[in-house]
Structure 1
Amino acid sequence: MATLRILFASLALALAGTAHAGPQGPMMDFNTLDADQDGHISRTEAEGHRSLTEQWQKLDVDGNDRIEPAEFSAFEPMPMHDGSGMGMKQGTPEK
């Protein structure tokens, strides 16, 4: 019984992780990208997330060079060659 509780607790922690599944796989989470938890995503925080940096101009509606939660809601992650949907820069460029 204790093993079963540990298994369910582990599963709950795994499901509470930083990404959630969408129609094209895992998606980026605003709170994870907002590393300093100041309520917006800076360009520095967005570095390494290709989908986000490529859509920056479109998402930053008010032009203040940061992405607020309402602006982030329009974010559309690009599928990667591995199907993850994260659009993150890695060793192999997206095609």
Structure 2
Amino acid sequence: MAEPGRFRFSASAVQLAGRLLCWSMAAAMVSAAVDALLDPRVRWWGPVWPLPWWLVCASALAWTVLRAREKADRPPPHDSVRSDWERAA
């Protein structure tokens, strides 16, 4: 078994995609606040400030696909008792 090193992650791809989603959403909110409150006049700001929002969309899509695959790969429960969700459906 490999020892956990400094740069080893025990998180799954779904967890990493979720973390990317959260951090990109935070960056997008900060960039929107800077754009609204400080109104930067530098030329590169106009095309750059929406980039975190594009990253939010991409990471949300990646997280959705990875989470769906994770749930599909999960084996069904071994007990034969129907869950509340199945009875409600």
Give the TM-score taking structure 2 as reference length.
0.25
Q: Kindly name which structure, 1 or 2, has the bigger radius of gyration based on alpha carbons.
A: 2
Higher relative contact order, chain-length normalized (CA < 8 Å, sep 6+): 2
**Structure with greater helix share of residues:** 2
Higher strand share: 1
